[in-house]
Amino acid sequence: MANVKAAIPKGTRDFGPAVMIKRNYIFDTIKKVFKKYGYQEIQTPTMENLDTLTGKYGDEGDQLIFKILNSGNYMLKAESLKQNGDELSSKKLLPIISEKALRYDLTVPFARYVVMHQQEITSPFKRFQIQPVWRADRPQKGRYREFYQCDADVVGSDSLLNEAEFVCIYDEALSQLGLKDFTIKINNRKILSGIAELIGKPYKIVDLTVAIDKLDKIGLEGVEKELLEKGFATADLEILKPVILLAGTNDEKLNSLKSILSKSIIGLAGIDEINKVLNYLKGFTLNRAKVELDLTLARGLNYYTGCIFEVKTNEATMGSIGGGGRYDDLTGMFGKEGLAGVGISFGADRIYDVLEELNLFPSTTTESTKVLICVFGENEESFAIPILNKLRQANINAELFPFGAKMKKQMQYANDKSIPYVVIIGGDEMESGLLSLKTMESGEQVKIGIEELVGKLS
Amino acid sequence: MANVKAAIPKGTRDFGPAVMIKRNYIFDTIKKVFKKYGYQEIQTPTMENLDTLTGKYGDEGDQLIFKILNSGNYMLKAESLKQNGDELSSKKLLPIISEKALRYDLTVPFARYVVMHQQEITSPFKRFQIQPVWRADRPQKGRYREFYQCDADVVGSDSLLNEAEFVCIYDEALSQLGLKDFTIKINNRKILSGIAELIGKPYKIVDLTVAIDKLDKIGLEGVEKELLEKGFATADLEILKPVILLAGTNDEKLNSLKSILSKSIIGLAGIDEINKVLNYLKGFTLNRAKVELDLTLARGLNYYTGCIFEVKTNEATMGSIGGGGRYDDLTGMFGKEGLAGVGISFGADRIYDVLEELNLFPSTTTESTKVLICVFGENEESFAIPILNKLRQANINAELFPFGAKMKKQMQYANDKSIPYVVIIGGDEMESGLLSLKTMESGEQVKIGIEELVGKLS
C-alpha cells in the first residue's frame, strides 16, 4: 500500500501523555464535585439522527454540523432524483446521502435523551455529561473543530436551590483547581425584561441586551452609539444609563433596582429570584468565589428565561471560563412541553490554558510511574524482577527498563517520563543486596534494602 | 420548528447513570493497572483523514468506515467532474465529497500518532488508549456501530518482558474486577510457521492456521475435513495431529514440541520466545489467571509475528474477553519502517456482560449520593441548608430535595438513585435539633445529632 503522510484533519488535536494527565486532572476534579452535589453521569452517542440536530442551532449552526455519509450506493438514489428533472444541488443531495451527523453540543442530545428515557428517569433529573462535540468552524487559535463540553443540568425542578448549588459547584471546582480570584456573575432575564419595559420598548429586548452585554468591551459610549443605531432614543439612554451603571454591593444594587423597576411585575419577579438565590447562598460556605450581580450580563438571551451565570477569572487574561442559566422549555422540540431546567457548563479548554498560565497544575501526580528500575545486563534483570513484583504488590507504579540499553538512555527515559525515583542495579547491588536509589530531582543517591525501598515509596 | 421523534441511530447506545457507573468501574480498574505498569494515556481525534484509514482494513473493512461529508458546495465539484464525461458513481463521488472519516480502530491512529510525534516520543513508548470506534456493520445482539476499544501497546522494544507484563496486566485487571477463573492463552506465530514447515507447506500457513484455530468449535474431524478441502494430504494430517493435540503442562508441551520441531529454525525460535515469557512470569506473582500454551491459537495471523494472546473466562459463556500479540511493522504504512511493537486489548463490552452475568459489580459505589435530606416545608428547608453544607464540607456526597414535594416522592427519589441514607426534617426535628436518620436498606430509623450524623457518614 502507498505511504500516507501522518497528519490529522485541521482543527483536531492529538493529546499526548503529559497533556492527558492535565486534562484528566481538570475533568476528574469537576466530576467529583458534580457527584458530590448529586449529579449523575450519562453519555450519548457521537452520532445523532440528522433531524435531531438540524433546526436547533439556527441556519449558521446547521451549516457547521458535520454530516455523515450513508453507506451503500447513495448515488443511485441521487441519480433517480435527477431523472425526475431536479437539479442535483448540494442542498437537495444532502437528505439522500446523509441521515446522521456528529453532535454539535450536549444540550440537544440531552433533551432527546430526557424525552426518549422519560419512563426511566427519576425527577428531578440531575445529570452531567463530559464528551466531545464537533463544529465545522474555521479553526483558529483556541477554537477547534473537536472539543470537549462539560455540562451539568437539572430538569424537572423549579427550585432556586438549584441555582444556588450551581454557584457552589463553580466555587468548589474552581477553588479545588487552585484558582484564587474569580467572579461568578449572575443576572436574571426577567430583570432585563423589566428594564426593557421601563424604557417602554419590551419588543426591543434583544437589541438592548446585545448592546449592554458589550459594556465591558466597548464602554458606555460604544453601547450608547449602538443603541442609537438600533433605533433607541436619547431619552431611552437616560433611563438606561443609571441602571446599567448601578454600583455597590449586590444588596445595594438590588435595593436601587427594586425602586427603579417598582412598576414592572416581571422585573420585580427577577429581583425576587436573585434575592432567593443569594439568600440560599448565605447558608453555604463559599471558598474563593466572588458572587456579583451584573445587570449587563445577557449570554444567549433567547435561550434563558430566569437566572443567567457567567464565570470569569480575575488572575488571567481570558474570556469567560463557564456559564449557564435557566430555560423554560428544553424538550418541546421533541414533543414534551413544559419541562424546565437549569444548567451550567465549564469551559475546559480555557480552564486548561488558565491553569497553565498561572502554573497551577500539580507538579506530581499519582498517575505516573513512581520508580524505574535500571539494570546493567541480563543477570541484573533477573535479579530485578522479584523486586519489581514486590513494588507492584505494594501498589507502587513501577517499571523495569528491559536489559540491553545504555544507562544514559535509561536515565533519559526516567527524565522524559518525569519518574521521580530510579533504582540502579549492577554487580555491586546484586552482591550486597543493597540497591542504589537515586532521587531524580536532587540527584541524591543512597543505598537501600529492598523492604526499606518498598516502605519508602509506599 | 416541527417536532422530531426522540430516537438514536441504530447500532448506537445511550448510557444512563447506572450503566455509566458500571462502565466507569471497568475502565477505571483497567486504567489503574495500565498506569501501574508504566503505560500512559493518549487520545487521538475522532476524525482522521480518509487516506489515513482506507486501505488498512481490507476491502470489507473500508466499506465499514463511516465517512464525513465535506462542508461547502461539494456538488459543484462533482458536477465539474461529470462534465469531463465521467459517470457520477458513488465510488467516484466519494473523494470529492468526503475527506475525513471516523476512526475504525485505535491501532491505525496510534501508528499515525507515533510517526507524527516521533520527535517527542520517549522510546520504548508505552501507551494506552480508551476511546470509541465506529463501524458501519449490521447491528446485532452484542455488536454495535459505536463501541469502546481499550488498548495498550508498547513500541520500540523487542524485550519479551513486555509480553510477560501484559500477562500480568490481564491477570491483575481481571482479578481486580472479581473474575475467579480465567485463562490467558498464549501461542507464537513462529511456532505456527515451524509446524507449516514440518508439513512441508510453509506457503499454506494461512489455510493451516485458519483451520486449526477452529479446533474448539468444529472438533478434530472438522479441522481435518477443512484441511483436506484446502489441498492438504492425509499424510500432512498425520504429522499435524499429534502436534495440535499435545496435552499436559506448558513445560511438557514445550518439551515435546522441541523435539518435533527440532529441524525448524523458526519453530525453535518461537519455542524459545514462549520459554522466555514463561520464565519471566516465574518472577511475578499471578493472582487468578491460568496461563496456557495453546498451539491452535492464531487470531489475525497475518498481523502478528511473535507471541499471540487470547483471554477466556471459564465462568461465563462468552467468547474471548481480550487478545493481542506482537507485530513487526506498525508504522510502515506511514513511512517509518521497522518499528516493532506488542499490544493487547480488553473487550470492555464483553467484560461488562460477564460481570453482569456473574453479579460481580460492587453494590455500593463511592460515585453516588450518600445521603438525601428530605424536608416537609420551606422552614425545614432553611433549617436544612447549613446541615447540607456541613455534610459537603466533610466531603460527603449529599443532596437536599427542594421543598414542596410529598414525602413519598422524596423517598422514591432516594430509592431510584440508590441513596443509602435519608435524613428527614420536620417540626419535631427542628425543635429538638435531633434529626431522623433512616437507613434505606433496613428501614431502620434513629434520632441523631448533626455532628454525630457527619461523623457516621464520613
CATH number at residue A198: 3.30.930.10
Cα-Cα-Cα-Cα dihedral of A62, A68, A72, A77, to 10°?
A: 10
Of A102, A117, A385, the CB nearest to B16: A117
Residues B155 and B231 in one domain: yes
Q: Considering the domain boundaries, does residue A260 fall inside one?
A: yes
Rounded Cα distance between B180 and A396, Å, is: 24
Domain count, chain A: 2
B113-159 residue pLDDT tens? 999 999 999 999 999 999 999 999 998 888 899 999 999 999 999 99
Q: What is the pLDDT of residue A71?
A: 77
The more confidently predicted of residues B327 and B78 is: B327
Q: What is the pLDDT of residue B216?
A: 86
The grid coordinates of residue B286 equal 499471578
On whether the CB atoms of residues A10 and A66 are closer than 8 A, the answer is no
| Contact between chains at A368 and B41 (C-beta distance less than 8 A) | no
Residues A326 and A236 in one domain: yes
Per-residue DSSP letter, B135: -
Domain end (from A327, A357, A387): A357
Q: What is the pLDDT of residue B167?
A: 98
Residues A265 and A123 in one domain: yes
On whether the CB atoms of residues A350 and A401 are closer than 8 A, the answer is no
Mean residue pLDDT of chain B comes to 92
Q: What is the pLDDT of residue B394?
A: 96
Give A52→chain B minimum CA distance, Å: 6
Q: Considering the domain boundaries, does residue B174 fall inside one?
A: yes
Contacts of A136 in chain B (CB under 8 A): 71
* A144 → chain B, closest CA residue: B45
Contacts of A97 in chain B (CB under 8 A): 69, 97
Rounded Cα distance between A208 and A192, Å, is: 9
* B133 → chain A, closest CA residue: A46
Q: With left for phi above 0 and alpha for psi between -120 and 50, is residue B308 left, alpha or beta?
A: beta
Of A37, A122, A392, the CB nearest to B413: A122
Residues A305 and A202 in one domain: yes
Rounded Cα distance between A286 and A170, Å, is: 10
Residues A424 and A318 in one domain: no
CB atoms within 10 A of CB B340: 18
| Contact between chains at A42 and B162 (C-beta distance less than 8 A) | no
Of A100, A132, A398, the CB nearest to B9: A100
HSE (CB half, 13 Å, CA atoms) of B297? 22
Contacts of A16 in chain B (CB under 8 A): 42, 117, 120
* A417 → chain B, closest CA residue: B122
| Contact between chains at B46 and A102 (C-beta distance less than 8 A) | yes
Pick from B159, B63, B48, B184: nearest CA to B113? B48
| Contact between chains at B24 and A41 (C-beta distance less than 8 A) | yes
Q: What is the pLDDT of residue B78?
A: 64
On whether the CB atoms of residues A155 and A328 are closer than 8 A, the answer is no
Rounded Cα distance between A163 and A324, Å, is: 10
Residues B319 and B382 in one domain: no
Q: Considering the domain boundaries, does residue A11 fall inside one?
A: no
On whether the CB atoms of residues A181 and A222 are closer than 8 A, the answer is no
CATH number for the domain harbouring residue B449: 3.40.50.800
Pick from B432, B355, B435: nearest CA to B388? B435
Q: Which amino acid is at B323?
A: G
Residue from B75, B276, B450 to probe the interface with A (highest A Cβ count within 10 Å): B75
The grid coordinates of residue B392 equal 459537603
The grid coordinates of residue B118 equal 516521533
Q: CA-CA distances (angstroms) from residue A312 to A12, A152, A297, B11?
A: 26, 18, 12, 41
Percent of chain B whose predicted confidence (pLDDT) is above 70: 94
Residue from A1, A14, A129 to probe the interface with B (highest B Cβ count within 10 Å): A14
* A103 → chain B, closest CA residue: B8
Residue B81, pLDDT > 90, answer: no
Of A5, A372, A389, the CB nearest to B285: A389
| Contact between chains at A38 and B369 (C-beta distance less than 8 A) | yes
| Contact between chains at A21 and B1 (C-beta distance less than 8 A) | no
Residues B194 and B333 in one domain: yes
Question: Would you mind telling me the total number of residues written for chain A in this entry?
Answer: 458
Residues B376 and B291 in one domain: no
A231-235, A261-265, B1-5, B187-191: range with lowest mean pLDDT: B1-5
Domain end (from B301, B327, B357): B357
Whose grid coordinates read 443511485? Answer: A76
Residue from A1, A3, A4 to probe the interface with B (highest B Cβ count within 10 Å): A4
Pick from B281, B167, B158: nearest CA to A403? B158
The grid coordinates of residue A118 equal 422519560
| Contact between chains at B42 and A17 (C-beta distance less than 8 A) | yes
Give A281→chain B minimum CA distance, Å: 9
Burial class (CB in 10 A: 0-12, 13-18, 19+), B41: buried
Type and span of the H or E element at A142:
none
Q: What is the pLDDT of residue B3?
A: 73
Burial class (CB in 10 A: 0-12, 13-18, 19+), B214: middle
B158-174 residue pLDDT tens? 999 999 999 999 999 99
Of A4, A49, A67, the CB nearest to B9: A49
Rounded Cα distance between B43 and B102, Å, is: 14
B344-392 residue pLDDT tens? 999 999 999 999 999 999 987 667 899 999 999 999 999 999 999 999 9
Contacts of A302 in chain B (CB under 8 A): none
On whether the CB atoms of residues A277 and A292 are closer than 8 A, the answer is no
* B77 → chain A, closest CA residue: A90
Ordered strands of the A47-49 beta sheet: A47-49, A98-102, A67-69, B67-69, B98-102, B47-49
Contacts of B41 in chain A (CB under 8 A): 17, 20-21, 24
Residues A336 and A403 in one domain: no
HSE (CB half, 13 Å, CA atoms) of A274? 28
Q: Considering the domain boundaries, does residue B437 fall inside one?
A: yes
On whether the CB atoms of residues B309 and B186 are closer than 8 A, the answer is yes
Q: What is the pLDDT of residue B355?
A: 97
Pick from A308, A350, A278, A126: nearest CA to B397? A126
Rounded average pLDDT over B36-64: 93
On whether the CB atoms of residues A334 and B5 are closer than 8 A, the answer is yes
Percent of chain B whose predicted confidence (pLDDT) is above 90: 80
Q: Considering the domain boundaries, does residue A100 fall inside one?
A: no
Residues B258 and B312 in one domain: yes
Rounded Cα distance between B195 and B181, Å, is: 31
* B281 → chain A, closest CA residue: A385
Q: Considering the domain boundaries, does residue A25 fall inside one?
A: yes
Q: How many Cβ pairs closer than 8 A exist between chain A and B?
A: 302
Of B37, B45, B162, the CB nearest to A14: B45
Report the predicted TM-score, pTM, of the whole model to 2 decimal places.
0.94
CB atoms within 10 A of CB A127: 24
Q: Considering the domain boundaries, does residue A183 fall inside one?
A: yes
Residues B272 and B390 in one domain: no
Residue-range definition of the domain harbouring residue B231: 17-44+115-357
Rounded Cα distance between B309 and A275, Å, is: 64
A196-250 residue pLDDT tens? 999 999 999 989 999 999 998 899 999 999 999 999 999 999 999 999 999 999 9
Rounded average pLDDT over B316-334: 90
| Contact between chains at B69 and A64 (C-beta distance less than 8 A) | no
* B118 → chain A, closest CA residue: A6
* pLDDT < 50 regions, chain A: none
Rounded average pLDDT over B396-425: 95
User: What angle do helix axes A205-212 and A215-229 make, rounded to 10 degrees?
Assistant: 140
| Contact between chains at A116 and B55 (C-beta distance less than 8 A) | no
Contacts of B49 in chain A (CB under 8 A): 4, 7-9
B239 confidence band (pLDDT: 50, 70, 90): very high
Whose grid coordinates read 452535589? Answer: A37
Helix locations, B37-133, DSSP H = 50-53, 58-63, 74-83, 90-97, 107-116
Q: What is the pLDDT of residue B248?
A: 95
Q: What is the pLDDT of residue A147?
A: 96
Of B120, B334, B393, the CB nearest to A3: B334
Whose grid coordinates read 453544607? Answer: B389
CB atoms within 10 A of CB A407: 14
Residue from B47, B59, B80, B96 to probe the interface with A (highest A Cβ count within 10 Å): B47
Residues A329 and A349 in one domain: yes
Contacts of A88 in chain B (CB under 8 A): 75, 78-79
Domain end (from B357, B379, B412): B357
Q: Considering the domain boundaries, does residue A79 fall inside one?
A: no
